[in-house]
Amino acid sequence: MITPYGRDNAFLMLGIGACLLLLALTPMPVAVQTLSVLLGLLVIAFTLWFFRDAERPLLPEAEANAHLIMAPSDGKVVNVDPVEHSPELGGPAVQISIFLSPVNLHVNRYPASGTIAEARYIPGKYLMAFNPKSSTENERSIFVLDTPTGRISYQQITGFLARRIVYDTKTGDVVRVGERFGMMKFGSRMDVTVPATAEICVRPGDVVRSSHTILARLKG
């Protein structure tokens, strides 16, 4: 199934793929027909894969333990960095950065349950998503979440290919861990910031899955 967050782009790309297949039915050299068919099938296959809305059952432990902070996206952990002072958390913190390649599932899910204290969009650059500066200079959306055991923040960050962030979260929303809230279209990055007192459960190089991988345990 195609995610509602990406249907506008997906239908356009599926239309392009269909046009390439139809073009192959017109009189033309066999080599050109073959190329048109292959390109059309490639576009359709990539679109269905990238905009898929795969299920991600929540780790049972996360249902009962409000201290757990879950991965909000699929991808690879590229950085686990101490932060001297997080404006969103009001003190020292640790930032966990997850890089999403174009083949990863790009539908995002809430990393914990609680109330959204802040949700805002910030325009910016389009640096490569694995560049550490993308956290502060790229186009992004920032969310501050008050959980029963402490405050965290997380942000959707566009990359060199990703040029659009989609989310349906607003300040004051009461949210539940594992539920969908948006997506980043094409290569992108997700940062999760937790208090410095939290126990970090991942390290650079780890592959994570949304709603299944535990990123951190809060001490609150």
pLDDT mean by block of 10 residues, the chain; 220 residues: 78 88 85 89 87 88 94 95 95 95 89 97 68 67 96 87 79 96 83 97 96 93
Judgement on whether residues 136 and 33 belong to the same structural domain of the protein: no
> Catalytic site residue 188?
yes
Judgement on whether residues 121 and 155 belong to the same structural domain of the protein: yes
Structurally, the chain folds into a number of domains equal to 2
Judgement on whether residues 151 and 195 belong to the same structural domain of the protein: yes
Judgement on whether residues 198 and 120 belong to the same structural domain of the protein: yes
Cβ atoms of 130 and 92 closer than 8 Å: no
Judgement on whether residues 39 and 76 belong to the same structural domain of the protein: no
Q: Is residue 177 part of a domain?
A: yes
Q: Is residue 163 part of a domain?
A: yes
Beta strand segments in 10-88, E: 68-70, 75-86
Residue 25 structural domain: 4-50
Of the candidates 73, 188, 210, 211, the residue annotated as catalytic is 188
* CATH number of the domain bearing residue 148: 2.70.70
Judgement on whether residues 44 and 150 belong to the same structural domain of the protein: no
Judgement on whether residues 124 and 17 belong to the same structural domain of the protein: no
Judgement on whether residues 148 and 67 belong to the same structural domain of the protein: yes
Q: Is residue 55 part of a domain?
A: no
Cα–Cα distance for residue pair 189/126, rounded to 1 Å: 11
Instruction: Specify the pLDDT at position 135.
Output: 64
Cβ atoms of 82 and 71 closer than 8 Å: no
Residue given tokens 């980043």 in the structure block: 184
Q: Is residue 37 part of a domain?
A: yes
Cα–Cα distance for residue pair 150/178, rounded to 1 Å: 18
pTM of the model: 0.84
| CA distance to 14, 102, 107, 117, 149, per residue, from 120 (Å) | 31, 25, 19, 10, 23
| CA distance to 10, 32, 50, 72, 128, per residue, from 46 (Å) | 10, 21, 6, 23, 21
Judgement on whether residues 39 and 115 belong to the same structural domain of the protein: no
Instruction: Specify the pLDDT at position 134.
Output: 60
